[in-house]
Structures are given as structure tokens and as C-alpha cells.
Amino acid sequence: MVLNRHAFRVEYEGTAYCGFQLQPDQPTIQKAIETAFFALYQSDVRIVGSGRTDSGVHAAGQVFHADVPENIPCHKLGKALNSHLPEDIRITGVSQVNRTFHARYDAVSRHYTYRIFNGVSVLKRRFVWQIFQPLDINAMNHCLSFIKGEHDFTSFCLSQTETDHKICDIQAAEWQVKGPELLFSIRANRFLHAMVRSLVGTMVDVGKGRYTVYDFENILHKVTHGSGAVTAPAKGLVLEEVIYNPQITWQWSGVAQC
């Protein structure tokens, strides 16, 4: 059987899942997608994601690759997979790629956003961190001057993070106020386990006045676990996009053109 490598873009709501990566006896995004592949081909297909997302984290543009039989063209493959996926997971892009393409190792950066809602919202409750007090956005933006560029983010990841080193290159980061919402946007070459949530949670404590901007700087420079970082809830975090060079041209897109 001839197998061709394909890249897939997937959108999901992470509320009901224990993250992207397979875990024994737990619902995960990878398990749901591989189950859909089995229903389609009646054989096992292993997928490789661009990276992990934690339990409860969402994605608008996660990317994975898989080697699949050549009998279904791209413009039908995404629709066929979606017919076997639950409603909170959808393939939104499919493209045949070079056999050497690797969703994780070929990615040059990842872009995440985190949303905070100042108030109460039933409709947004699964996608924002609801905070019921004013935050000092200027102080929170001041914190960003310490993290841009290359730094060791040991202080802002979980102790069980498995990696050769904990240096990440923060290429862009910004807090914006949009009505009652605060939107944090960050792009980097890589992220550590729970790193974005730890940065957000600690900056929120700066915004609340519990920490100063220089407390935040000191936590970063301690480069130790348990240095005082605070982890924000998972539900406000979204993996927006995975960037490649050259970027993937999607031969099929699940986004309708008006």
C-alpha cells in the first residue's frame, strides 16, 4: 500500500479532553483523531502533532502530520475525517506534503492567545478566565520587557517538563484591552509545559497588585521551580497558529469563502 504524508490543521475545544497527546484510559485529541482515521481506513494511523496542548486548552490552528493511503484526495479527506469526529474537533485544512515534513520539528514558531474577561459571562465561561476586579494593564505590559528574546523559563514551567533545556525565544508578546476583555498574545519558537499559563497567572498577580513588576523579573531570574509563579486556568488559552517556513499551502480548507 502506498502511503503519502499529509499535513492537517485541526481546531478543537479542549474542555472535555486531557490534552492533545495520547494518555492511557483518558480522552485526548490525538485519540479521537486516530479513532476517526481507523473508522475511515480500517487500519491504524498514527498522527504526530506540532506540540502538546494541556488538558482544557483549545486550538484554532493545531497542526499534525500522518502517513495515509493515497486513495482519498485532500478535498474529500478532511470532510471524511470530520464525519467521524465529535463536534468539538474539526479538521480545517489538509495538504499533501513532502515525505520529510515533520509537524513538530519543522515548525519555526507557535502563536498563542489568552483571554481574560472582567465580569460575568455565561456564553464565554469555557473560553475565558473571569476575573472580577480591575487589572493594571500598564504594569502587565511592563512585565513583557523582561521576557522578550531568549531566556531560561524554568521558573514558568511545571517541574515535570521533559526537555534538554528550558530556553525559549519570545518573538512577540502583547497585552491588549478590548472592551471588558484582556487579550494576551505571544509568539515564540517553542513553549514549555504550562509556560504561557504561568506567565499569564503571574502577570495577573502583578495587575492585581499582589506582585510588583520587579517581583516578576526576580521570579524569571531565579530559574527554579517553585519560585512564586502562578498558573492561570487552562480554559482561556488557545493555540492560534503554528508557523512554518515555507508556510503550508492548504490544498483543502474547511473555511468557506463568502
Active-site residues: which are they?
54
Residue with cell 515564540: 188
Q: Exposure of 227 by Cβ count < 10 A (0-12 exposed, 13-18 middle, 19+ buried)?
A: middle
Sequence-separated (6 or more) residues with CB below 8 Å from residue 248: 7, 9, 63, 93, 95, 97
CA distance 131 to 118: 5
Over its C-alpha atoms, the chain yields an Rg (Å, rounded) of 19
Strand, coil or helix: what is 157?
coil
CA distance 163 to 192: 8
Record the cell numbers describing residue 98, joined without a space: 513532502
Phi, psi dihedral angles at 190 (to 5 degrees) = -160, 160
CB 180 within 8 A of CB 145: no
Q: Exposure of 223 by Cβ count < 10 A (0-12 exposed, 13-18 middle, 19+ buried)?
A: middle
